Every structure is written in structure tokens, then in C-alpha cells.
Amino acid sequence: MMETLDIPSGERAIARCAELGRAPYSDMEGGLFRPYLGPAYRATCEKLSQWMAQAGMSTRMDAAGNLVGRYEGLVPNAPVVLLGSHIDSVRDGGFYDGMLGVILSIETVAYFARAGKRFPFALEVIGFGDEEGSRFPTGMLTSHAVAGVLKAPDPAMPDWAGTTTLAGALEGFGLDVGRMHAASRKGDPVVAYVEAHIEQGPALEAEERPLGVVSAIAAQQRYSLVLRGMAGHAGTVAMALRRDALAGAAEIILAAERVGRAGTDGLVATVGSLDVVPGAANVVPGEVVMSLDVRAGTNAARDMAVAEILDIARQICRARGLEIDMTLKQDLDATPCDARLTALMEQAAGSVTGMPAPLLVSGAGHDAMIMAHLVPVSMLFIRCAGGISHNPAEAVTQADTEAALRTMTTFTGLLERHFG
């Protein structure tokens, strides 16, 4: 009798994600860290390539370091449906963010290969190398390359540890930073990109639903704010004379929270990092570098909130005698998923679970929002315990993962009927 883990299943998908959560598939002791083009990334690509081959796929690494497996269609040079997510992880991350989508894509192809089923389109599974930006100070670098919208990256861009550059890391894989653009699929017959991903939020758990269908990915803007005042002795500078950069930053943080709470269209505003100079207990802070991250379901809601927060920040700094510099670090438009593909995914999820799948706006960014520059996209969300992600506590159930796999295979069958 065939063992359970010898056939495509939600159980096997979970087991494979867990296997990839430890050495040699992690570059940190006692946790998961899989940065782009690191030793763990190499080992992970080798293991994924084995699983792709077992599922009937040929494999290759593209010019940007993405792993690609291809399951041929009924005819040579058939159109392509891309399935996938990202391979890299944040530091001390969970097993399922990104990787579950890659594994479910492999399991989807394995399901059809086992049945001897082929389509009028080829199925390709893509594992993107750099979605998180956890090694280099950029994110979604490799999906930009595939979508054909990559701006020339800085070859001298240092990694987080200062041990190598982007050019050096690519050279270690036999790749050339000057040729990353060759990963572009523009001009190729790619007709859709489909990504399964843990929800990274609590909505599905609150609604007691295993799966959700993404209608859009939120617009994002990220700023770096630098506040400059005057450092001074904590015991001798009178309160009325202080130009305390940290106190000004605190006011801006609370203002961002107020604006975010009052917003609509899924608006959220976050200050996630502060760098205080000189950072001594007995010195009035003279400089603060802080982040500001604003997201919403529409560009308009995001832009209104950003304008309001930045205006308040200027007022606070004027009142406190502080200088402020504001630098836009990231600007991503809201990305609607394709209406036709969304309807098919809703139909597939509903037939598998016996209940309508909620339509959700993703507050987190995904490679799908970059791939939308190339092809129509669709996303399937899988319930995760407590809505927790980017954390070792990430958890999914076998039943939900099985439902996700069956939805992916059902969706692919529906896509065949609607093809052309």
C-alpha cells in the first residue's frame, strides 16, 4: 500500500515545508532564515528541483536566480500558466510564508502528472528568490525581473551582513548582475500567474473559513523620516529649551496611529523602526531616523493618509524647532486581481469547501502585485492560526492545506474549460 506522503496532498505539503525549515535549508541556528542566494537558498533550490523532477517537470534557474519548473502542455511551445510564490524568508521566520505556495504549486503539477493529465497550456512553477528583501535593501527584486520592469540594480549593493554585494552573490550562482533583465518573460506566451499564500491576517479565522480569494493587493508607500534637533545633557538642558528629536518622533507616531485608525478602505499606518542618536540614557536625543509605512486598498485612500501624516509631521517639527527630511523609499500601486481569474478561483474554492470563499484585500505585498505588470493574476489565501506570519509560530492545518490543493487543481481544470 502506498504511503500517504508518496502522493500529492496537503499533508505532504506541510511535511515538505517543515523539512525545509531546518538545516541545511536555513542559515541560522535554531530557527529559519533563508536569504536570497545564501547557502540555505542553494540547498533549498536543489531539494525543490528534486521534487519538481519527481512531479514530471524539467527545471532551470533563470538569470535572476529564480527556480523554474516546467510541465509541458499538449503541444510544443504552448501558452504558459505560472504557479508559484517565494522561496526566501525573513530572519527567524515561519515555515509557510511563501514556501507553502511554492510547495502547493509543485503538488498541483504532481497531481496532474500522476493522473497523466496535460493541458492546452504548459504549467510552470516559479519560486521567486527575493520577495522579502531580507538580504539586500530591496524587495521583490526577482519578480520585477520576470515581469520585465526591473530597473538596473546597483551591483555594489551590500548584503545585510556586509560580507558581499549583489554582484558577488549572483556570481556565486554563476549569474551576472548585468543580465538579470534576461529573466524577463515579456514576449513569452505567459497567460496567467497564480499564487497561493497564507493569509497573514486574522480575517479567515474570524469568519471560520479555510480559504479566501484575493480581490486586490493594497497600495503601499514607505518613507524614511529624519528628524534633527539638538543633543544635550539630560540633566542640564531645561525642558523649555529642548529640541528633542525623539519627543517629536513620538508625536508623529501617535499621529500616524490616529490617521490610520480613522481611515477607510483597509487603511493602516505603521512606524516600525526608530534609530535614535546618540542613543544614550543621559543625552537628549539630537536625531531620529524613523520609518513610515502606509497601506490601503486604494491609491486614493493611501495618498490622502500619507499627505495628512506628513503635513502633521511638518507642523510638529516646526513647533519643536526640529528639521525634518522625508525620503520616499517604496511606492507600490494597489493591484486588483484579474476579475475573470478571481471568479474562477471563487468557483473552485466554493466547490471544494461547500461555502463561498470570502473576498479579501491583501494588506501585505506579494510577488503577484509585480507580476500583474506582465499578466493577469489570481491569489488564494489559506487560513493561518492567529493570523500570525513572519514568525516561527506560523501554523496551518492539514485540512485547510488539503482544501487549498484541491482548489488549485480544480481551478486549473476550470481554466482549461475557459482557455481561449
Cα separation, 256 vs 295, in Å, equals 12
Report the first-to-last Cα separation within the chain, whole angstroms: 41
Q: What is the DSSP letter of 36?
A: T
What are the Cα distances from residue 29, in Å, to 21, 24, 40, 91, 176? 11, 10, 12, 11, 30
Nearest-Å Rg of the Cα atoms of the chain is: 23
From the list 420, 411, 417, 396, the residue with the least C-alpha distance to 194 is 411
CA distances to 46, 67, 118, 188, 309 from 57, in Å: 14, 12, 12, 19, 50
Please identify which residue in the block is written with the cell numbers 501558452.
79
Q: Which of 400, 390, 391 is nearest to 365 (CA)?
A: 390
* Separation of alpha carbons 405 and 380, rounded Å: 10
Contacts of 155 (CB under 8 A, 6+ apart): 165, 166, 167, 177, 178
User: Alpha-carbon distance 15 to 95, whole Å?
Assistant: 10
Contact partners, residue 366, CB within 8 Å, separation at least 6: 85, 131, 195, 197, 217, 379
Position 1 scores a pLDDT of: 34
* 3-state SS, residue 363: coil
* CB atoms near residue 419 (< 10 Å): 13
Q: In a structure prediction context, what are the per-residue pLDDT tens digits for the chain, which is 420 residues long?
A: 345 678 999 999 999 999 999 999 999 999 999 999 999 999 999 999 999 999 999 999 999 999 999 999 999 999 999 999 999 999 999 999 999 999 999 999 999 999 999 999 999 999 999 999 999 988 899 999 999 999 999 999 999 889 999 999 999 999 999 999 999 999 999 999 999 999 999 999 999 999 999 999 999 999 999 999 999 999 999 999 999 999 999 999 999 999 999 998 889 999 999 999 999 999 999 999 999 999 998 999 999 999 999 999 999 999 999 999 999 988 888 999 999 999 999 999 999 999 999 999 898 889 999 999 999 999 999 999 999 999 999 999 999 999 999 999 999 999 998 765
**Bridge partners of residue 360, in order along the sequence:** 214
Q: CA 62, CA 74: separation in Å to the nearest integer?
A: 24
Q: CA–CA separation, 151 vs 174, rounded Å?
A: 21
Instruction: Please give the Cα distance from 54 to 171 (Å, whole number).
Output: 29
Which CA distances in Å does 122 have to 50, 186, 307, 343? 19, 17, 45, 22
H/E segment holding residue 348: helix 339-353
Domains for the chain: give ranges and CATH numbers. 4-217+334-418 (3.40.630.10), 219-332 (3.30.70.360)
533563470: which residue's cell? 62
> In this structure, what C-alpha cell is assigned to residue 260?
490610520
Question: What is the DSSP code (8-state) at residue 6?
Answer: G
Q: Which residue has the cell 555594489?
A: 156
DSSP letter, residue 263: -
Q: Which residues contact 96 (CB under 8 A, 6 or more apart)?
A: 17, 198, 384, 389, 394, 395, 396
Task: Give the model's pLDDT for residue 3.
Answer: 55
3-class DSSP state of 60: strand
Q: How far apart are CA 227 and CA 324, in angstroms?
A: 5
To the nearest 10°, report the CA torsion of 221, 91, 163, 48. Answer: -100
